[in-house]
Structure 1
């Protein structure tokens, strides 16, 4: 993690460990409103504008007599550690956090629960890591430090901006915030999740080659998207998100996408969105669909072979 998270001497006075349950929560995403190069060129950076949704990862730690599974240095010597409810990446985040602050985890018990499906484009692993770190900040009564969070993420995986409570243009590989985009934009969505999962790391070389070929189109798409955010124009953002989704279909096609795009006007949707390296495809509405339209959407997506989900996403 370089200098960002190298161990340092704690400030005077050891951080106070919370006496009760400490918890951390992080939202996930419904894919992205944009994923592509930050600018056209031979060596593109992958930039994303994630599409936050009110579905979450939740992690808690209860100080007590039970050893912290898999990450507690106070476990009985020679005894096999109990299975940890934390995934491997979250357990790594715990270790890096403790090393950074020069702390030891007290005896206690982890619990974890997520509403986010793995491998479909909902930022599940990143949300798990951020929720775990937020739990640790509260456990040790430390102020939340975004730089520490970013440093830990950078040491573990390519990530998006779910650690922020607003839209952002973010370089997922470099872990660099390019521009904050605020909380004025929001949508109602209807979407499907196709079967299967996508390995983001495995498809990255394919994406980068596509970005080189289609750099000019992506540059125009991103320009339109940022203008929409700057003006608070949700319909313009939806149009740009549709352009980004169409470009994504050229390189990582989704079985339902063409049908969804072809029926956009029929349903009066303002746009189409996807999880660019996932399995989600759906409609963007600036106004909430009424019960009749929701029924029609559910029937349409069922005709494509998948149940329809509805969610409010974004902020405005």
Structure 2
């Protein structure tokens, strides 16, 4: 539980210079892995989120309005209040504004990215060093979260808000993806996922082992193969309607793997090398024939 600490009996007020202060956080294209970690009837749900070069922005302009969190979303406003309470600070007068190119409710970690961008803005506003433990404390109070608060891949327990292993920044992919219709209620499907994980525990353990070996050796093709296995296992419990088509045509397009938002609506191809314009045209035609507009984005780091 997030612990509030005050600076003595009084709240400290810092008045930074009047200038725009911003915080930015990337989102995700679902996960390269989602599955169980640990033995027993109630395994932890572990994620290796798939960072994407798309972002959430939060801006604060001091001295241009009242001292409140108007202009932030509900979760971001809560995060701001928790941050201020933790450090014993008072927000100066000012105006908030936000922008995001992350779609909501499809598996891009939009709400977590909004929260982290808000916190990064506040760290900069008060000239405080970015503290991952504080960010985790805030997130644990608000929601189950992806690991977008880190600027590297990580094996992360989303319900426990604990990083099991940092996986570095050596892996990158080019992607072609679509968003299928509908939404997934993560809380509602969690019992189904846990039962599926109990049935398929050995397969998930092998998949995770292969994924971690791929990260350790800096081998994106091995990571892509493991991501495809994770997506295939997910298909048994939360199926994507286009999955079989993508699997059947993967070699045709020279894709190295398939990724999904396991509890979202995203699905797409992983490429270790950037596809050329002709391949992009063919991919766009293929996805259009399935009833979807294709998008291209770079994921990971590297």
- TM-score range relative to shorter protein: over 0.9
Please report how far the alpha carbon of residue 8 of structure 1 lies from its aligned counterpart in structure 2 after TM superposition.
3.1
CA distance in 1, matches of 2:180, 2:11: 53
Equivalent position of 1:191 in the other structure: 177
Equivalent position of 2:28 in the other structure: 29
CA distance in 2, matches of 1:123, 1:13: 33
Equivalent position of 2:198 in the other structure: 212
TM-score where L is the length of structure 1: 0.92
| Cα root mean square deviation, aligned | 1.6
| Aligned partners of 1:40 and 1:218 also within 8 Å | no
TM-score where L is the length of structure 2: 0.96
Please report how far the alpha carbon of residue 13 of structure 1 lies from its aligned counterpart in structure 2 after TM superposition.
7.7
CA distance in 1, matches of 2:45, 2:164: 12
Does residue 231 (structure 1) correspond to residue 239 (structure 2)? The answer is no
Equivalent residue pairs, number: 301
Equivalent position of 2:115 in the other structure: 129
SS of residue in 1 equivalent to 2:247:
helix
| Aligned partners of 1:18 and 1:138 also within 8 Å | no
Please report how far the alpha carbon of residue 19 of structure 1 lies from its aligned counterpart in structure 2 after TM superposition.
2.4
CA distance in 1, matches of 2:65, 2:233: 51
| Aligned partners of 1:18 and 1:140 also within 8 Å | no
Equivalent position of 1:76 in the other structure: none
After TM superposition, list the pairs within 5 Å mapping 1:156-195 onto structure 2: 156-195=142-181
CA distance in 2, matches of 1:9, 1:17: 18
Q: 1:161 and 1:18, CA in 2 relative to 1: closer, same or farther beyond 3 A? A: farther
Q: Which runs of 5+ in 1 are unaligned?
A: 72-83
CA distance in 1, matches of 2:119, 2:245: 41
| Aligned partners of 1:93 and 1:152 also within 8 Å | yes
SS of residue in 2 equivalent to 1:19:
coil
Equivalent position of 1:91 in the other structure: 77
| Aligned partners of 1:267 and 1:293 also within 8 Å | yes
CA distance in 2, matches of 1:205, 1:92: 28
SS of residue in 2 equivalent to 1:196:
coil
CA distance in 1, matches of 2:244, 2:67: 48
| Aligned partners of 1:39 and 1:215 also within 8 Å | no
Equivalent position of 1:45 in the other structure: 44
Does residue 262 (structure 1) correspond to residue 262 (structure 2)? The answer is no
Equivalent position of 1:78 in the other structure: none
Q: Which runs of 5+ in 2 are unaligned?
A: none
Q: 1:106 and 1:270, CA in 2 relative to 1: closer, same or farther beyond 3 A? A: same
Equivalent position of 1:61 in the other structure: 60
Does residue 240 (structure 1) correspond to residue 238 (structure 2)? The answer is no
| Aligned partners of 1:59 and 1:131 also within 8 Å | yes
